[in-house]
């Protein structure tokens, strides 16, 4: 190993540290003998080990273990050796001797790759019918964790030895949920049902839970074991939720019952998402014909009226004001204020803001709009409010400074570095592992290990961990760790400049500013190259695969699916080009282009004002979806800060807020949203 390690002083120390971690973790010190962290970062030690690991790991995940002598020499003491071996064992469970797996778990059981392997090993034992071995592992590690898959496998293993006299408590808990359970539970439920231990009453209880949770496919399945009435109820619920227009058109007063009234309310609720005006009409026509409770009447009135406001329908503001007090909640008060902004009803805006809960009323958001409404209504006292806000580094702080003609107050200050503490942190085994996972491209695994390790640190050490992650170039962890410590003023950490050449080159080619592209990337992913959103967007700029494929074709780029999207430079090229396309589509309006990057251009076109152009600040404030509303503000704020970081002087945020034009007639009929999203 000495020959492999000695490439520089730093490399030698790092290799020694990894050997220490293997044999004596307490003695680990990556920066012994006074070697500074910046030197370690600049030297990029262990490149050979990392390259060998990447190559071997890809093979291990495919179940191949064919390390060359050179790879064994490089990797024998490498900190991620357990990850490599665990990947191979995961891929070959049932083929490698179980004793080999157990030996690995005994040696490395506290490491995350071993915990993952143990879970897969438990599944493998169950699948192979090794019930005693599975149950021994289950009782030792999983019995109290309420992991449905393993719990059902354990019940199945126990049932293989004979049925119990009564329904096991855990089986009852697993049954009484309103959604489909994991497939491993099917065998258990079938055997218990056949034995009469899951009876009709339990079916009725689960049917009710499925209806309440709107899991209608599950309700229909359960109804097969119940009465014709249950089957009709499941069918009615399916029509109410799936075809609300048709269901409401067929309303039958003589069917008045609690169940039918609930179905009518559900249909109105669902219809309001797409067509609140029709929902309001249908509600007016049927509300008097049924014995709806006051609570249900208030719910429907509030729900439909809020969706009228979110769709900016004519008369929505008046409808909000007309709601009975029993139907008014904080969300209604917010939308009264927002709709008042669109109507320029400035005295009303002041009244609505005053009605908000105190903590919310005093936020920068509503204090800014209070000051603007005071100015517009001719009331004194706006300037002190704006002056206080202008001292903040935020969206509303920048807007307040613009209103007063003041310079922005960025309040940047470096987090002080404690070199001794940084050295100790850099030598912590858990953080060394996290760093190496990041370096070899297993960033998601690295994030998980970093976060778990940092949670165990005290407050001072956490802040130094943010400094350390920044020095390592691990910006997502630096940003998140600093924020967890409520330290927001080190803008080098919170607004870093990674992939600088790629952003400069590709933003210029797409005719967008690098600061804007950086703001989008930070808001989308915190610069994580591998992250995938629930919707399927991938990489630094969170590009959807379909969008990436079409954009790559337009740019005549090679396209290799996820491989392309997880390459930072390629992802930035695709993302900036799409951002430029949105800028073109919306006539160089960065507000609309930013919103379209998040919500899609069709929704943004549907959100355009229908009558006259609108102040961009008000348009942003009244975007129907809370996620997009926050996103646009966040990107514009980050754009301003990145512009300051790149050029030393920011442009005015207000200059990036051109008036929002009225929709063209062809767009006016397009409806926002297509399902039950939950904006606020």
Decide: helix, strand or coil at residue 538: strand
Are 490 and 393 within 8 A, CB to CB?
no
Rounded distance between C-alpha atoms, residue 410 and residue 489, angstroms: 8
484-495 pLDDT tens trace: 999 999 999 999
pLDDT value of position 675 = 39
pLDDT value of position 670 = 37
To the nearest 10°, report the CA torsion of 269, 270, 275, 279. -40
Per-residue pLDDT at 434 exceeds 50 = yes
Rounded distance between C-alpha atoms, residue 488 and residue 217, angstroms: 47
Q: What are phi and psi of 614, to 5 degrees?
A: -135, 145
Rounded distance between C-alpha atoms, residue 564 and residue 559, angstroms: 6
Q: What are phi and psi of 465, to 5 degrees?
A: -65, -35
pLDDT value of position 650 = 80
Rounded distance between C-alpha atoms, residue 46 and residue 8, angstroms: 10
Q: What pTM, to 2 d.p., does this model score?
A: 0.88
Looking at residue 445, the DSSP 8-state letter turns out to be: H
17-34 pLDDT tens trace: 443 333 333 232 333 323
- Rounded to an integer, what is the distance from CA 565 to the centroid of its chain? 18
156-169 pLDDT tens trace: 999 998 889 999 99
> In the predicted model, what is the mean pLDDT of residues 137-166?
95
Per-residue pLDDT at 317 exceeds 60 = yes
Rounded distance between C-alpha atoms, residue 94 and residue 155, angstroms: 22
Of the candidates 459, 458, 477, the one whose C-alpha atom is nearest the C-alpha of residue 467 is 477
pLDDT value of position 44 = 59
Are 1 and 14 within 8 A, CB to CB?
no
Which positions ≥6 away from 413 have C-beta within 8 Å? 489, 490
pLDDT value of position 161 = 85
| Dihedral-angle region of residue 511 (phi above 0 means left; psi in -120 to 50 means alpha; beta otherwise) | left
> In the predicted model, what is the mean pLDDT of residues 288-297?
94
Rounded distance between C-alpha atoms, residue 192 and residue 463, angstroms: 54
551-594 pLDDT tens trace: 999 999 999 999 999 999 999 999 999 999 999 999 999 999 99
Are 462 and 471 within 8 A, CB to CB?
no
pLDDT value of position 28 = 29
Q: For the chain, how far is it from start to end, CA to CA, in angstroms? A: 60
pLDDT value of position 14 = 39
507-546 pLDDT tens trace: 999 999 999 999 999 999 999 999 999 999 999 999 999 9
Q: Which residues pair with 96 in a beta bridge?
A: 93
Q: Which residues pair with 93 in a beta bridge?
A: 96
> In the predicted model, what is the mean pLDDT of residues 317-327?
98
What percent of the chain has pLDDT above 70?
Answer: 91
Burial 44-59 (b: 16+ CB within 10 A, else e): ebbebbbebbeebbeb
> In the predicted model, what is the mean pLDDT of residues 606-628?
96
646-671 pLDDT tens trace: 998 888 999 999 999 998 764 433 33
The sign of the torsion formed by the CA atoms of 592, 593, 594, 599 equals: positive
pLDDT value of position 270 = 97
Of the candidates 131, 127, 126, 101, the one whose C-alpha atom is nearest the C-alpha of residue 116 is 101
Rounded distance between C-alpha atoms, residue 158 and residue 126, angstroms: 11
> In the predicted model, what is the mean pLDDT of residues 271-298?
95
Are 581 and 600 within 8 A, CB to CB?
no
Are 559 and 566 within 8 A, CB to CB?
no
Q: Which residues pair with 660 in a beta bridge?
A: 614
Indicate the range of 8-22, 144-158, 383-397 predicted with least confidence: 8-22
Q: What is the mean pLDDT of the chain?
A: 91
* HSE-CB of 519 using CA atoms within 13 angstroms: 30
Looking at residue 62, the DSSP 8-state letter turns out to be: T
Confidence of residue 15 (pLDDT cuts 50, 70, 90): very low
Helices (H), 485-615: 491-494, 500-509, 514-525, 545-555, 562-565, 568-585, 590-599, 601-606
Are 82 and 108 within 8 A, CB to CB?
yes
> In the predicted model, what is the mean pLDDT of residues 179-201?
95
Confidence of residue 252 (pLDDT cuts 50, 70, 90): confident
Are 555 and 577 within 8 A, CB to CB?
yes
Which positions ≥6 away from 52 have C-beta within 8 Å? 70, 71, 74, 75, 78
Per-residue pLDDT at 174 exceeds 90 = yes
Confidence of residue 255 (pLDDT cuts 50, 70, 90): confident
Confidence of residue 362 (pLDDT cuts 50, 70, 90): very high
Task: At 201, list the tokens.
Answer: 């009453």
Looking at residue 441, the DSSP 8-state letter turns out to be: T
Task: At 393, list the tokens.
Answer: 């580094």
Task: At 418, list the tokens.
Answer: 């404690």
Q: What angle do CA 249, 230, 256 make, to 5 degrees?
A: 40
Catalogue the long-range contacts made by 258-264 (C-beta closer than 8 Å, 24 or more residues apart).
Answer: 259/233, 260/236, 260/290, 261/290, 261/291, 261/292, 261/296, 263/236, 263/237, 264/240, 264/290
Of the candidates 348, 345, 343, the one whose C-alpha atom is nearest the C-alpha of residue 333 is 348
């Amino acid at each position: 190993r000495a020959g492999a390690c000695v490439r520089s002083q730093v490399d030698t120390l790092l290799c020694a540290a990894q050997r220490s971690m293997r044999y004596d973790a307490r003695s680990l010190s990556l920066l012994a003998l006074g070697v500074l962290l910046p030197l370690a970062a600049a030297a990029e030690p262990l490149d050979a080990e990392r390259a060998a690991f990447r190559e071997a790991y890809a093979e291990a995940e495919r179940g191949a273990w064919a390390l060359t002598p050179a790879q064994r020499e490089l990797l024998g003491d490498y900190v991620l050796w357990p990850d490599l071996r665990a990947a191979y064992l995961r891929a070959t469970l049932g083929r490698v001797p179980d004793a080999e797996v157990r030996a690995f778990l005994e040696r490395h059981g506290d490491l995350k790759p071993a915990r993952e392997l143990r879970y897969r090993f438990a599944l493998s034992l169950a699948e192979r019918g090794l019930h005693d071995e599975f149950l021994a592992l289950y009782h030792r590690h999983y019995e109290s964790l309420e992991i449905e898959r393993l719990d059902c496998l354990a019940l199945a293993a126990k049932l293989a030895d004979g049925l119990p006299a009564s329904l096991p408590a855990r089986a009852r808990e697993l049954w009484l949920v309103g959604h489909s359970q994991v497939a491993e539970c099917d065998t258990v439920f079938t055997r218990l049902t056949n034995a009469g231990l899951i009876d009709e009453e339990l079916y009725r209880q689960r049917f009710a839970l499925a209806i309440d949770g709107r899991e209608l496919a599950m309700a229909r399945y359960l109804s097969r074991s119940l009465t014709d009435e249950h089957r009709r109820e499941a069918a009615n619920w399916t029509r109410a939720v799936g075809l609300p227009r048709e269901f409401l058109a067929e309303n039958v007063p003589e069917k008045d019952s609690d169940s039918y009234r609930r179905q009518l309310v559900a249909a109105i609720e669902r219809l309001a998402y797409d067509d609140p005006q029709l929902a309001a009409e249908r509600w007016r026509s049927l509300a008097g014909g049924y014995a709806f409770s006051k609570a249900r009447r208030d719910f429907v009135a509030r729900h439909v009226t809020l969706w009228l406001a979110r769709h900016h329908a004519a008369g929505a503001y008046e409808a909000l004001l007309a709601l009975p007090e029993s139907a008014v909640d904080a969300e209604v008060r917010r939308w009264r204020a927002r709709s008042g902004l669109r109507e320029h009803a400035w005295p009303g805006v002041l009244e609505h803001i005053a009605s908000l809960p105190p903590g919310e009323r005093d936020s920068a958001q509503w204090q800014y709009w209070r000051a603007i409404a005071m100015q517009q209504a001719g009331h004194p006292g706006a300037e002190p409010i704006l002056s206080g806000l202008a001292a903040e580094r935020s969206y509303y702080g920048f807007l307040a400074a613009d209103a007063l003609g003041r310079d922005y107050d960025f309040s940047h200050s470096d987090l002080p570095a404690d070199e001794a503490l940084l050295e100790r942190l850099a030598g912590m085994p858990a953080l060394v592992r996290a760093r190496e996972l990041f370096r070899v491209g297993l960033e998601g695994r690295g994030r998980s290990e970093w976060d778990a390790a940092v949670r165990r640190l005290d407050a001072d050490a956490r802040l130094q961990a943010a400094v350390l992650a920044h020095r390592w170039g691990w910006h997502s962890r630096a940003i998140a760790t600093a924020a967890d410590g409520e330290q927001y003023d080190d803008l080098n950490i919170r607004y870093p400049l990674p992939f600088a050449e790629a952003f400069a080159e590709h933003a210029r080619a797409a005719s967008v500013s690098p600061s804007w592209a950086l703001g989008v990337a930070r808001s989308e992913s915190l610069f994580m190259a591998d992250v995938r959103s629930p919707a399927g967007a991938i990489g630094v700029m969170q590009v959807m695969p379909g969008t990436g494929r079409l954009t790559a074709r337009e740019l005549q780029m090679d396209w290799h699916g996820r491989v392309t999207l997880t390459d930072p430079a390629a992802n930035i090229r695709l993302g900036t080009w799409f951002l430029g396309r949105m800028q073109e589509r919306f006539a160089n309006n960065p507000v609309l282009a930013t919103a379209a990057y998040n919500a899609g251009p069709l929704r943004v076109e549907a959100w355009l004002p229908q009558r006259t152009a609108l102040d961009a600040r008000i348009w942003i404030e009244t975007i129907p979806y809370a996620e997009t509303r926050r996103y646009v503000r966040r990107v514009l704020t980050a754009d301003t800060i990145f512009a300051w970081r790149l050029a030393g002087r920011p442009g005015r945020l207000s200059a990036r807020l051109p008036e929002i034009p009225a929709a063209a007639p062809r767009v006016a009929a397009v409806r926002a949203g297509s399902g039950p999203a939950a904006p606020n």
